[in-house]
């Protein structure tokens, strides 16, 4: 290739994610924004059994490695899954780099140490950015409480520091997680915040037929997300039962979109509480169909257990409900209160009675409900991905400059 041709060559970035690409809204937003800015993007991701190995999704070249997610499995199954993906990613990067000549590699967590799979190209001078979606040590303690102990926690903290140190730069999703890392000794100039915000082009209320509040006489609640212990869907199901008992004249129905290891227990709970006909489990639906599902609902739920892990998290479900101009009820968590003060109804985590009371407040007070919807829509308009993508693209271009 001549020097002139090399100069005209479009730069290629590689994004790595231990997830199914089509189901990972953050990585999809990032990849699509990079493509729209004129950068070729490859993605390495997990592969579902029926997926093709290679695909082009909205201009993004997706390579699916033959590893599946074992959501809800034991710790050793997770460990084998992480290791299998790590090895395949490392080999794929080494083989692809001479041909693709990546100008930058970004690795999304969890796990933190997946970034070490890009170490060979990092040593060759390619900038590597780690995108810390969550705190791995706090996630482990929350997800595997029986296996958590001080020694394991210190080991995970050490792995986290090593992973960040091995990267050219780190980004994370909010100020709380950044502050946590600064408290661990990470240099301020080594980490930036790129918020996990929805794309208003995708979550566009005007593009989907809405419905008047309880337009068909049914109060329709929605939850769209993972069905895991982190998200207290059991409290939501109990809340539906409490609503049915408190207001038998109100027809209430909860639509649950997602999958996870809690589904069987949640179905059994709904049956035990006598509300199996009031809760429908739809399974996971494509990301592009989530806005329409929200548009068919009246109130969005974001139930989350409170612990050290979730104290530093903000559910993107709330932002998506707000973008679609739907009232939202969420667990009373620090970032929820500081971000959506007065715009989202909150309940005490674990308290189904309080959850039911907050929902009833939206039924009984129309002006109160509509005022909160307006405030939440204003907040999310200022937090949209369309705004945050500008800083994200500038950050990655800065590190890729000269490659």
pTM value is: 0.87
Q: Please give the share of the chain, as a percent, with pLDDT higher than 90.
A: 76
Q: What is the pLDDT of residue 74?
A: 63
Q: What is the pLDDT of residue 73?
A: 56
Interatomic CA distance for residues 380 and 320, integer angstroms? 8
Q: What is the pLDDT of residue 247?
A: 94
Interatomic CA distance for residues 400 and 403, integer angstroms? 6
Long-range pairs of 210-215 with CB within 8 A, sequence gap ≥ 24: 210/295, 210/325, 211/295, 211/296, 211/298, 213/298, 213/366, 213/369, 214/298, 214/363
pLDDT digits (tens, 9 = 90+) for 142-167: 777 777 788 888 898 999 999 999 99
Which pLDDT band, with edges at 50, 70 and 90, does 102 fall under?
Answer: very high
The full set of domains in the chain, from first to last, is 3-197+385-400 (3.40.50.2000), 205-382 (3.40.50.2000)
Q: What is the pLDDT of residue 45?
A: 96
25 within 8 A of 316, measured Cβ to Cβ:
yes
Residue-averaged pLDDT of the chain: 91
CA distances from 126 to 6, 168, 240, 401 (A): 17, 9, 52, 10
pLDDT digits (tens, 9 = 90+) for 2-45: 444 444 457 899 999 999 999 899 999 999 999 999 999 999 99
């Amino acid at each position: 290739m001549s020097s002139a041709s090399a100069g005209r060559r479009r730069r290629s970035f590689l994004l790595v994610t231990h997830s199914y690409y089509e189901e990972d809204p953050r990585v999809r937003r990032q990849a699509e924004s990079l493509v729209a800015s004129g950068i070729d993007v490859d993605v390495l991701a997990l592969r579902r059994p029926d997926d093709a190995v290679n695909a082009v999704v909205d201009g993004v070249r997706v390579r699916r490695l033959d590893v599946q997610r074992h959501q809800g499995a034991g710790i050793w199954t997770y460990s084998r899954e992480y290791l299998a993906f790590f090895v395949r990613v490392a080999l794929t990067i080494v083989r692809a780099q001479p041909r693709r000549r990546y100008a930058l590699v970004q690795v999304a967590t969890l796990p933190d140490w997946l970034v070490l799979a890009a170490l060979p190209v990092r040593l060759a001078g390619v900038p590597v950015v780690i995108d810390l979606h969550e705190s791995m040590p706090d996630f482990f303690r929350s997800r595997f409480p029986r296996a958590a102990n001080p020694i394991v926690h210190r080991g995970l903290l050490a792995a986290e520091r090593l992973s960040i140190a091995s990267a050219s730069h780190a980004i994370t999703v909010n100020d709380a997680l950044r502050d946590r890392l600064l408290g661990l000794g990470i240099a301020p100039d080594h980490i930036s915040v790129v918020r996990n915000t929805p794309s208003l082009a995708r979550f566009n209320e005007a593009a989907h037929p809405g419905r008047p509040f309880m337009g068909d006489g049914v109060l329709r609640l929605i939850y769209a997300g993972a069905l895991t212990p982190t998200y207290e869907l059991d409290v939501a199901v109990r809340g539906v039962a409490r609503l049915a008992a408190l207001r038998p004249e109100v027809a209430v129905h909860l639509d649950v979109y997602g999958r996870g290891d809690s589904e069987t227990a949640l179905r059994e709970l709904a049956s035990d509480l006598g509300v199996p006909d009031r809760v429908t489990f739809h399974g996971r639906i494509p990301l592009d169909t989530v806005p329409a599902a929200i548009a068919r609902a009246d109130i969005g739920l974001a139930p989350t257990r409170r612990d050290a892990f979730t104290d530093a998290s903000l559910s993107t479900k709330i932002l998506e409900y707000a973008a679609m101009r739907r009232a939202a009820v969420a667990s009373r968590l620090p970032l929820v209160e500081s971000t959506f003060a007065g715009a989202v109804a909150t309940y005490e985590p674990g308290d189904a009675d309080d959850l039911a009371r907050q929902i009833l407040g939206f039924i009984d007070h129309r002006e109160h409900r509509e005022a909160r919807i307006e405030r939440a829509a204003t907040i999310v308009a200022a937090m949209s991905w369309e705004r945050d993508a500008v800083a994200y693209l500038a950050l990655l271009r800065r590190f890729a400059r000269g490659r």
